Structure formats: C-alpha cells, structure tokens
Amino acid sequence: MSLEKQYQALELELAADDPWRLDGNPFERERHTQMLRLSLSQEGITNALEVGCAAGAFTEKLAPHAQRLTVVDLMPRAIGRACQRTKRWSHITWIASDILEFSSAESFDLIVVAEILYYLSDVEQMRTAIQNLVRMLAPGGRVVFGSARDATCRRWGHAAGAETVIAIFKETLTEIERLHCQGASSNEDCLLVLFRKEGRASDQSNIRP
C-alpha cells in the first residue's frame, strides 16, 4: 500500500469514536498495561518520546509518569484528538512529523514506538527510522517497542513487522525483556520488547551541544 493510501486509510479510521478499539478491546488494554509496565521499569522518566499517538490512549497513561513528554505523529488529526484527551497536562509537546524526518536537539531517556514502524514502505526505511531513534536515545535510556508480528504485517500488506524490527534494534541496543500479547483474533498477536542503550545516564546531558 502506498504512503498516500495509508494516510487516507488512517484519516478514515481516526474519524471513529474509538479508532482501532484502543479503549474498548481487552487485548489493546492489556497491551497498553504491559507497555506502561515496561516504560516504568527504570526509576523516573525525565524526558520521554512517544512515536505515534493514535488517539492518545497510551499517551494518557504515560503522561503522568514523565517530567517531559514529546509526542510525534504523522497525522495532525491524531495529534488533535490526543491533545484534547490529555489537555489537563501542560508538559506535553506535540509535533506533526514523519519519523524519518523528525530530529531533536534533546536526548530522551525513554522512547516508546508501537504499531508504527510497519507503516514504512520497506525494511531499509525501518532501519533508517530505528537509527534515527537510537541516535536520540540517551546512554542508559530505554526503548519500548511493540508491533504485530512479521506474518501478520505481511498479511496486511506491509513489508515486515515485529521480528524484523527487533533484529534491527538488537544491532545497537540490548534486549532486556520480551513478551507476547495475543487476543481472540488472528490480528491480535504482537510482541513487546524493552531495549536498553549501553552507557550511563551521566555520560550525556539531556541537551546536546
């Protein structure tokens, strides 16, 4: 599926009251519960990045635990819905951007990227996006990654899914924990992984020179 067609499909899905059933589906609620548990595996989140906010279901869970939170999404409509949902917090920065183009002068001690990378057109774009994210990750920082599995993503028409992306992340990061979430539908089958970047947080300040 072309990027333009994917964009149009996402726009249509975002028009629903509960896009992708992120609030109403027990599988999605459990996925978010486990993502939050992995995100909170280190003491204190100073500066977090969430890549892809959908309608803000996970943003709402993560926001209370981070001193600062940057949220990046390609879809302005998604940002609008997530911003409305989390308006009680003032420490969230919203950025409409393609993950391949997004960059930050700041480094992040937590990056959450779930159900997003398979939208890229091929594995090389996935690798480029991962390299970009790892560059912005502080020494000692963590990545929480989640995705439908390779076979499911390819059935949906995408280039690859969880297993392929995990292998790319492991080229530069250390895998700390992995778990399998599965629901009643064949589409409800994903892997969640916690990665760590080697080094100590004191090796690098939060602001790059």
Backbone angles phi, psi at 2, to 5 degrees: -70, 160
Instruction: Establish how many alpha carbons lie within 13 A of residue 90's alpha carbon, considering only the half-sphere containing its beta carbon.
Output: 0
Instruction: Establish how many alpha carbons lie within 13 A of residue 18's alpha carbon, considering only the half-sphere containing its beta carbon.
Output: 7
Confidence band, pLDDT 50/70/90 cuts, at residue 25: confident
Confidence band, pLDDT 50/70/90 cuts, at residue 7: very low
Distances (CA, A) of 198 to 50, 66, 81, 187, 205: 21, 21, 36, 34, 15
Q: Give the Cα-Cα-Cα angle 98, 41, 182 (nearest 5 degrees).
A: 70
- For 42-73, the pLDDT digits (tens) are 878 999 999 998 889 999 999 999 999 999 99
Task: Give pTM, 2 decimals.
Answer: 0.86
Q: What is the pLDDT of residue 23?
A: 64
Confidence band, pLDDT 50/70/90 cuts, at residue 75: confident
Other Cβ atoms less than 10 A from the Cβ of 196: the count is 18
pLDDT surpasses 60 at 120 = yes
In whole angstroms, give the CA distance from residue 121 to residue 117. Answer: 9
Q: What is the pLDDT of residue 201?
A: 62
Lowest mean pLDDT among 74-83, 84-93, 132-141, 153-162: 74-83
